Amino acid sequence: MGKRKRSDEQAANRIKPKTKVSHHISWADEIVAALIASYQKSFESGEGVGSFITDAMCNQMNSKFGTDKFTVEKIRTKWNKLRFNLSPQGTIQGCMRSLDIGDFSKVIKKNAQACLDEAFVAEGLQPMFTADTRDPVNRVHDGATPAPHDSPEIPSIATELSHETENNVVSHGRPLSMDLYHDLRESRNRRDLATAENDKLVDEKLRAKSNITEQQLEQLRGEKPSLSEELAKVKEDKTDLEGRIQEVKEESEALRENLCQEKENLIQTVAGLKSGKQSDLEKKENLIQTVAGLKSAKQSDLEMISALQKELSIKNNEHMASIAALNEQKVKAAEQMRQEKEHSAMKIGELEHIHARSLEEQKTQAEEALHAQTHHYLQVVGDLDRSLNEQIQEKKRGKSLPKSGTSNWESNQSETNRQVCSHMEIQIRQNKRQIRELESDIEKQKKTDDKLRRQLQSRERELKSYYLCGQLRMMSGEPELVGPN
């Protein structure tokens, strides 16, 4: 019993209709009927079996059923897997005509027929299930098929078609459309035979009435191909006109849908305007009260404006006085900057002149000392050369000195010469070192002068920025800055 109870619960859950349609297409009987009607229409127009699923049909179905899930790929996939599960005994496969539906309950039959007839009439076709009249089948009640609890022994069409995981939705469109196509072809064949027989009767009547000869009949038959060609051209023109008519119908359908949508939008807009009329009246009352309050407060605002104008005039006078004082300070600052600049330039010039003069004097003294020492050394060397030459001359004249005395004298003389030369070299090195020191002092003094010049320029920029900031602060009404040191 428990196992059977679970099976009953599973069956009840399986036949429960789905309400969440945002993740899939709900394939109800109206949608299947619309597909079958489009398929039948493609057969009658001669477009072929695969050309009826188009973007225009997808847009039309999306607009008709209020969704955006219908695409060419999805509809083609579902169409290839289509199944009708309308029978209590299971899925019906193969050919199913309208007479096979008589085994179902009357309510389900009527609603299914009504869906197909409405879809066929919407596509401009004749209804399927009305043999004696052209009027479509009326529904039993509003709403498509009954709910499962109304007829538990036979699940409703909408319920069975909504279960994609159980039924794979309906597969009756292909065989039914093929049967309809065969019927259409047979009717066309019968129409062609009737046309041939009619032509034969017409020929006989013409022969009887006009008593034309066989030769004239052959001539007329020879002219018949040209008439056939004209008839073919007329048929082609008719086909083109039918295509244009179909395009016009599609455009009119799209325009009708757009007009319906615009009508709904206008209805909603009018409803919103009507619903917002009361709020607009309340807003109007509030605005009237606000205007009255503003008028009552206008006098106080005028008094406040007058007081503000007086205060603004006083502040403007103070501001003009501060601007005049600032201009005076600016003139004084410019004069002070000019004086400081002249004083700094004079001071720098004096320092440069003093340093240059001292450096020139030191350089001149060093050169004079070097020149005097060089002259002295040259004089000493000349005296030594002269004395040496005299000794050589005396030696040549035969005034020879004792050997021991000569050797001592020569050694003493060479030692003296060596000492004098070393002393001269030392003195020359000292003079060169003093010259290098003087050049280094000159470079240092140049660097010091450059530093003083940069400090003076920085001081000038600082004074300019200070007085400019003071002028701006005075114009903005802020307190003055303390002057730079």
Distance CA 132, CA 143 (A): 26
* 3-state SS, residue 92: strand
- Give Cα separations from 302 to 2, 182, 299, 415 (angstroms): 91, 94, 5, 118
Chain centre to alpha carbon of residue 61: 33
User: DSSP assignment of 275-286, as one string?
Assistant: HTHHHHHHHHHH
User: In the chain, where are the structural domains located?
Assistant: 11-186, 212-275, 328-476
**What's the pLDDT at 319?**
78
Least confident of 120-129, 159-168, 217-226, 334-343: 159-168
Distant-in-sequence, close-in-space partners of 127: CB < 8 Å, separation ≥ 6: 116, 117, 120, 121, 134, 135, 136, 137
- Give Cα separations from 336 to 333, 344, 460, 470 (angstroms): 5, 12, 10, 15
Distance CA 259, CA 236 (A): 34
Region 22-51 average pLDDT:
62
Distance CA 213, CA 207 (A): 8
- Give Cα separations from 377 to 71, 195, 423 (angstroms): 120, 155, 9
Least confident of 17-31, 86-100, 186-200: 86-100
CB of 45 closer than 8 Å to CB of 181: no
By CB neighbour count within 10 A (0-12 exposed, 13-18 middle, 19+ buried), where does 420 fall? middle
Distance CA 113, CA 378 (A): 147
Q: What token pair was written down for 89?
A: 């005994």
* 3-state SS, residue 63: helix
**What's the pLDDT at 13?**
42
pLDDT band with cut points at 50, 70 and 90 for residue 479: low
Distance CA 103, CA 154 (A): 11
Mean pLDDT over the full length of the chain: 67
Distance CA 136, CA 139 (A): 9
The alpha carbon torsion through 130, 131, 133, 137 (nearest 10 deg) reads -10
More confident residue, 194 or 350: 350
Distance CA 467, CA 151 (A): 101
Region 254-276 average pLDDT:
80
Region 52-77 average pLDDT:
83
> DSSP code of 289?
H
**What's the pLDDT at 104?**
37
Q: What token pair was written down for 409?
A: 């004298």
- Model-level pTM? 0.22
**What's the pLDDT at 207?**
61
Tokens 């009357």 belong to which residue? 106
> DSSP code of 103?
G
**DSSP-assigned beta bridge partners for residue 92:** 84
Q: How many residues does the chain have?
A: 485
For the cut 70, the answer to whether the pLDDT of residue 76 exceeds it is yes
The predicted-structure confidence for 43-53, as pLDDT tens digits, reads as follows 666 655 556 77
The predicted-structure confidence for 98-126, as pLDDT tens digits, reads as follows 333 333 334 444 566 666 677 777 777 76
For the cut 70, the answer to whether the pLDDT of residue 234 exceeds it is yes
For the cut 80, the answer to whether the pLDDT of residue 384 exceeds it is no
Distance CA 278, CA 291 (A): 20
CB of 28 closer than 8 Å to CB of 144: yes
For the cut 60, the answer to whether the pLDDT of residue 94 exceeds it is no
Least confident of 108-122, 269-283, 323-337: 108-122
The predicted-structure confidence for 405-448, as pLDDT tens digits, reads as follows 555 656 666 777 777 777 777 877 887 787 888 888 888 888 88
The predicted-structure confidence for 169-214, as pLDDT tens digits, reads as follows 334 444 555 666 566 666 666 666 656 666 666 666 666 655 555 6
Chain centre to alpha carbon of residue 187: 60
Q: What token pair was written down for 205?
A: 């009547």
**What's the pLDDT at 254?**
84
Name the strand (E) or helix (H) holding 42. helix 29-45
For the cut 50, the answer to whether the pLDDT of residue 87 exceeds it is no
**Alpha helices (H) in 211-276, listed in sequence order:** 214-275
Q: What token pair was written down for 127?
A: 């209804």
How large a percentage of the chain has pLDDT more than 90?
0
Distance CA 43, CA 326 (A): 99
